[in-house]
A and B are shown apart, each in its own frame.
Chain A
Amino acid sequence: MVDVMESDKSSEEAFAYTPGLKVKRSMTVTKERRLPLLGNILVKEGDTVSYDDIVAETEVPGDPELVKVTSILGVDVDEVYDFLFKREGDKVQAGEVLGQYKMFFGLINREVTSPIDGEIESISKLTGQVILRPDPIPVDVNAYIPGKIVGIMPREGVTIETQAAFIQGILGLGGEAHGELRIVVDTPDEELTADRISEEDKGYILIGGSLITLEAFKRAVEIGAAGLVAGGMNYTDVTSIMGEAIGVAITGHEELGTTLIITEGFGKMNMSNRTFSLLKSFEGRVAAINGATQIRAGVLRPEIIIPHKEEQGAEEELTAGMTSGTPVRIIREPNFGVIGAVVRLPVELQRVESGSKVRVLVVRLDDGTEVTVPRANVEIIEE
């Protein structure tokens, strides 16, 4: 697999190019909850909130409608005002007559009506276009996670903080949800199949092992489960759920009914032992989940947040270095998904089977064998 270009030289530390996914038992989780437009904040700093509490609200102006009065009535731009009954600021209803053009004792009778309920925003003297604006749509933002309000962005949003276990998945579908955690498999290599889901799982977040089957997803939606979490899903099943193949990994807006999170990758992939045992230790607790993923700008990963009061571990470091002993996961063939620990970080470039000369590292796998892997093909397991 690897050209042997033996070298005694090893670098002490290397900076991981692939950010590891967080699997943390206890940390301070901070969430910004922002309005899409400026609005009102309904809480104050120091308040305690729960999942569904509304923390901010606003009104989003509706999409305007343009009415070409000149062509409908057959009049010139400078005559538009004369034939309209309504003026800027007037409220109108759908179907209501806005203006009329009558000629030859009513033989020619043209009317222009409002296509929507709303208000006349403007009447253009340049084009004769009337712009109608529908009533604004109220938009609420809830807390999503329970915790304390630690910051207010005036008219924009709030920051909520909570103590929680925090687990990032690799890809999700569907948006925010919350529910009690229930483990439906015994080991992380077992599949989450439809027969493991019953009517009693309504509102729960169900944790499986290696694979969420398409039937399991359909069953979960049918009974109203809040979420499904497991190691992997088949590419074709994801295509079937989305109704089309995924092009770029920007998800979270799908309205599926049940939020899906995979923690390892596509295909049948055992959930890592750490993730599985962490989730298992919190069975019965309520968790907030979000499938939203954006891999390009933003590097947003799906998340599982399990609020609890346990003490927090060491503070998080900003730059994650890789050194001898660092636990890593191999994230590309061969040995995709396998977990091990860094043994050496040779300085020199080495030629791998593909012919490329790249920086590599030597990883000792759980069964004791050592493999050489391009550095780009591992991710640090953040503890």
Chain B
Amino acid sequence: MATLKRTPEEMRFILVTDVGSTTTKARFFSNESGEWRFVVAGEAPTTVEAPYEDVTMGVQNAVREVEELTGHKILMPDGSGIIVPHEGDSGVDLYCTTSSAGGGLQMMVGGFIKRITAESANRAALGAGAIVMDVFAEDDGRPPYRKIRRIRSLRPDMILVAGGTDGGDRTHVIQLIELIKASDPKPRLGVSYHLPLVYAGNKDVRSNVKDLLSENFALEIVDNLRPVLEVENTEPARRAVHELFMEHVMSHAPGYPRLMKWTAVDIMPTPAGEGMAIQLIADTFKKNTIGVGLGGATTNVYSVVDGRFVRSVSANLGMSYSVCNVMKEAGIHNIIRWLPFDRDEEDIGKRLSNKMIRPTTIPQTLEELIIEHSVAREALRLGLVHHKSIATRLKGAKLGEAFLRDSIFDQELEETYIDMLRLEVIAGTGGLLSHAPDRIQSMMIITDAWQPEGVTWMFQDSVFMMPHLGVLSTVYRDAAWNIFDKDCLVRLGTCIAPRGTASIGSNIMKISWQTPDGIDYEETVKAGEIKRIKLSEGVEVDATIEPARGMDIGAEPGQTLETKVMGGIGGIILDGRGRPLQLPDEAEKRMSLLREWLSAVEMYPEELISRIY
């Protein structure tokens, strides 16, 4: 790894790439005008697979596109890397990259008790940007021989093991370690090196762990991630995972040893970069935030609630490689329910399976686009369900008195703390959302899928550079934020949706505000309807929202809320369709209602969509 050639203050040009599973995306930034801005993007197919088997080729192809578009020379003429630092019209002052090529970082995690230490280990691995292949625990219901078979067949890049609080159980933790040793798992990228293993369990058995595992594993011992039941300390484990990822995993992937020499900072797994970007949003607006990266292969959901950051990855929910898995998990009927036109299951099954086997194709017709948008809603819905299962209160911890006052029995408590009414910001990224022909489409896809409640500000990545800015923020936060704010973060607008249901046609909320030029505005929303009000990007207004009795907009049911509403490309969505949103079972009624809603928010061009009906 190189070191920084210039201090952040002296830098003028920055190049960041993301080596994705399909495409390598280069983003070029400069501060020529006195502030850091995004200049141009270059993309090329990733070259991690045969016949190329060298990621630096894809990186060079993507950077070459940047060179052609800007006339700025970046690549060394002999192909040996990136010119650093810049001199006149050539070179950049910083180059860094994220990567998810070749399947990203694939991990297996284990703990003593499934819902306590194994669950914390799972969160730590996910937070580090890993895809978790399996979570095993003493009480996971599988007999040892089945666990062993599973561990042996998976071939992960790394294992993270927790178990026991400090000073707590020793025997079961050692049994778990013995089981791992007996399984003798082999790393994914070759048989000739030791599999990295992070131990973050009871500190009293560290010497036993060392005796049992140090010969056959690249062992790293870190602080216990559940030192006591009431505390979850994932940071040391997360850091160790990152270090081992660079040292042991990346160095065995095709072309990465070369790429590692080009970069000034450690290569970061793409989801870790994306997660940092979402944290940056939460941190800047000081609001509870949930974000999503809807990719071709996976769906990553990130939440920051009351300062706690959690990431989930649904490894097989995506819009290209995994599109059939969305169909399988959601059921075709759930994809069809979002279509405003009549198509049978065989037809949808055929189209989506053909997309899976030719994953890089894009919708050319509006009909195909609408079908993909229906799949996206289901991928997002399932991704959120999964996220809620990860974003849970700490199990095993003693509950506070306030908790117990409201709930006599532990079991009555909601498992997840993700409450749509308490989430104030939603941000989306990933190919389908970033490339939607009209931004209102991505705003509505997320609204339908996640059903935000109360008042929710909505943002989107403009041209897919959240991972880039995430990794950049580790070196140069100010530059990253400026680009983020000015060029990356598109303000879609605000969704206002009261929680609760009411009989169709009855008034459910009244909203009023004054526009910046002094015009008073008032709107009433009826149950079952959705309205789109134009309010430009960059405009924020103070609004008064009066929900009907029983409806909750964030200030207790029936209580008026005074709040700031943010304008955007999509404007304000006044969503009176009810929470939870219900679609009629009968196909004709459902399609007719969908058409009404699509038309109300102008989601697709009316003259084109009417031809498909």
A residues with a Cβ closer than 8 A to B are 1, 15, 17-18, 37-38, 61, 63-66, 68, 77, 121-122, 124, 126-127, 129, 131, 170-171, 234-236, 238-239, 244-249, 265-267, 293, 295-299, 318, 331-334, 336, 352-358, 373-374, 376-377, 379
Name the residue of chain A whose CB is nearest to the CB of B321: A296
Instruction: Knowing A332-B368, A336-B354, A353-B366, say if A376 contacts B327 (CB, 8 Å).
Output: no
Check B182 against A248 for contact (C-beta < 8 Å). no
Contact of B102 among A66, A121, A266, A297 (CB under 8 A): A297
Check B144 against A333 for contact (C-beta < 8 Å). no
Report if B264 contacts A (CB, 8 A).
no
Check A377 against B350 for contact (C-beta < 8 Å). no
Question: In this complex, which of B149, B329, B356, B369 has the most chain A Cβ atoms within 10 angstroms of its Cβ?
Answer: B356
**Which residues of the other chain, B, contact A318 by a CB distance below 8 angstroms?**
51-52
Name the residue of chain A whose CB is nearest to the CB of B208: A126
Check A373 against B364 for contact (C-beta < 8 Å). yes
**Which residues of the other chain, A, contact B346 by a CB distance below 8 angstroms?**
234-236
Report if B325 contacts A (CB, 8 A).
yes
Report if B362 contacts A (CB, 8 A).
yes
Report if B139 contacts A (CB, 8 A).
no
Contact of B322 among A127, A247, A355, A357 (CB under 8 A): A247
Interface residues of B in 170-229 (CB under 8 A from A): 171, 174-175, 178-179, 182-184, 191, 208
Question: In this complex, which of B191, B364, B365 has the most chain A Cβ atoms within 10 angstroms of its Cβ?
Answer: B364
Check A248 against B145 for contact (C-beta < 8 Å). no
Check B364 against A354 for contact (C-beta < 8 Å). yes
Check A354 against B357 for contact (C-beta < 8 Å). no
**Which residues of the other chain, A, contact B366 by a CB distance below 8 angstroms?**
353-355
A109 to chain B, nearest CB (A): 25
Instruction: Jot down 17 A-B pairs with beta carbons below 8 A, ordered by A.
Output: A17-B360, A18-B360, A124-B174, A127-B175, A245-B324, A247-B324, A248-B316, A248-B324, A266-B350, A267-B354, A299-B49, A332-B358, A332-B364, A354-B366, A355-B604, A355-B605, A377-B361
Q: How far is the CA of A234 from the CA of B125 in the complex (A)?
A: 39
Q: How far is the CA of A170 from the CA of B145 in the complex (A)?
A: 37
**Which residues of the other chain, A, contact B608 by a CB distance below 8 angstroms?**
353
Report if B257 contacts A (CB, 8 A).
no
Name the residue of chain B whose CB is nearest to the CB of A34: B191
Check B359 against A376 for contact (C-beta < 8 Å). no
* Size bracket of the B interface: 35 or more
A300 to chain B, nearest CB (A): 9
**Which residues of the other chain, B, contact A298 by a CB distance below 8 angstroms?**
49-50
Check B174 against A65 for contact (C-beta < 8 Å). no
B171 to chain A, nearest CB (A): 5
A80 to chain B, nearest CB (A): 12
Pairs A-B, 8 closest by C-beta atoms: A355-B437, A247-B325, A235-B349, A354-B369, A332-B361, A245-B328, A66-B144, A266-B353
**Which residues of the other chain, A, contact B495 by a CB distance below 8 angstroms?**
none
**Which residues of the other chain, A, contact B362 by a CB distance below 8 angstroms?**
332, 354, 356, 358, 374, 376-377
Instruction: Knowing A235-B346, A297-B102, say if A248 contacts B322 (CB, 8 Å).
Output: yes
**Which residues of the other chain, B, contact A267 by a CB distance below 8 angstroms?**
350, 354
Check A333 against B179 for contact (C-beta < 8 Å). no
Check A353 against B178 for contact (C-beta < 8 Å). no
Contact of B438 among A77, A235, A355 (CB under 8 A): A355
Q: How far is the CA of A28 from the CA of B459 in the complex (A)?
A: 53
A94 to chain B, nearest CB (A): 13
11 more CB-based (< 8 A) A-B contacts, given A18-B361, A244-B328, A356-B435: A66-B175, A246-B328, A247-B316, A265-B358, A266-B353, A295-B359, A297-B49, A332-B355, A354-B369, A355-B438, A357-B437
Binary contact readout B305-324 vs A (1 if CB under 8 angstroms, 0 otherwise) = 00000000000100001101
Check A129 against B325 for contact (C-beta < 8 Å). no
**Which residues of the other chain, B, contact A374 by a CB distance below 8 angstroms?**
361-362, 364
**Which residues of the other chain, A, contact B357 by a CB distance below 8 angstroms?**
170-171, 249, 265-266, 293, 295
**Which residues of the other chain, B, contact A244 by a CB distance below 8 angstroms?**
328
A36 to chain B, nearest CB (A): 9
Check B183 against A64 for contact (C-beta < 8 Å). yes
Check B191 against A234 for contact (C-beta < 8 Å). no
Report if B449 contacts A (CB, 8 A).
no
Q: How far is the CA of A266 from the CA of B174 in the complex (A)?
A: 50
Check B49 against A353 for contact (C-beta < 8 Å). no
Check A127 against B349 for contact (C-beta < 8 Å). no
Contact of B171 among A121, A127, A358 (CB under 8 A): A127
Binary contact readout B120-149 vs A (1 if CB under 8 angstroms, 0 otherwise) = 000000000000000000000000110011
Q: How far is the CA of A353 from the CA of B608 in the complex (A)?
A: 8
Report if B297 contacts A (CB, 8 A).
yes
Q: How far is the CA of A370 from the CA of B597 in the complex (A)?
A: 37
Name the residue of chain A whose CB is nearest to the CB of B179: A66
**Which residues of the other chain, B, contact A354 by a CB distance below 8 angstroms?**
362-366, 368-369, 437
**Which residues of the other chain, A, contact B358 by a CB distance below 8 angstroms?**
18, 170, 265, 331-332, 379
Name the residue of chain B whose CB is nearest to the CB of A236: B346
A319 to chain B, nearest CB (A): 9
Contact of B148 among A63, A68, A247 (CB under 8 A): A63
Report if B505 contacts A (CB, 8 A).
no
Q: How far is the CA of A379 from the CA of B359 in the complex (A)?
A: 12
Report if B258 contacts A (CB, 8 A).
no
B335 to chain A, nearest CB (A): 12
Name the residue of chain A whose CB is nearest to the CB of B45: A17
Check A66 against B364 for contact (C-beta < 8 Å). no
**Which residues of the other chain, A, contact B359 by a CB distance below 8 angstroms?**
295
Binary contact readout B415-455 vs A (1 if CB under 8 angstroms, 0 otherwise) = 00000000000000000000101100000000000000000
**Which residues of the other chain, B, contact A170 by a CB distance below 8 angstroms?**
357-358
Report if B6 contacts A (CB, 8 A).
no
**Which residues of the other chain, B, contact A234 by a CB distance below 8 angstroms?**
346, 350
Q: How far is the CA of A247 from the CA of B367 in the complex (A)?
A: 23
Interface residues of B in 17-68 (CB under 8 A from A): 21, 44-45, 48-52, 61
A164 to chain B, nearest CB (A): 18
**Which residues of the other chain, A, contact B534 by a CB distance below 8 angstroms?**
none
Contact of A248 among B48, B321, B364, B368 (CB under 8 A): B321
**Which residues of the other chain, B, contact A331 by a CB distance below 8 angstroms?**
354, 358, 361
Binary contact readout B327-357 vs A (1 if CB under 8 angstroms, 0 otherwise) = 1110000000000000001100111011111
**Which residues of the other chain, A, contact B350 by a CB distance below 8 angstroms?**
234-235, 266-267
Check B174 against A126 for contact (C-beta < 8 Å). yes
Q: How far is the CA of A265 from the CA of B149 in the complex (A)?
A: 35
**Which residues of the other chain, A, contact B175 by a CB distance below 8 angstroms?**
66, 68, 127, 129
Report if B595 contacts A (CB, 8 A).
no
**Which residues of the other chain, B, contact A63 by a CB distance below 8 angstroms?**
145, 148-149, 152
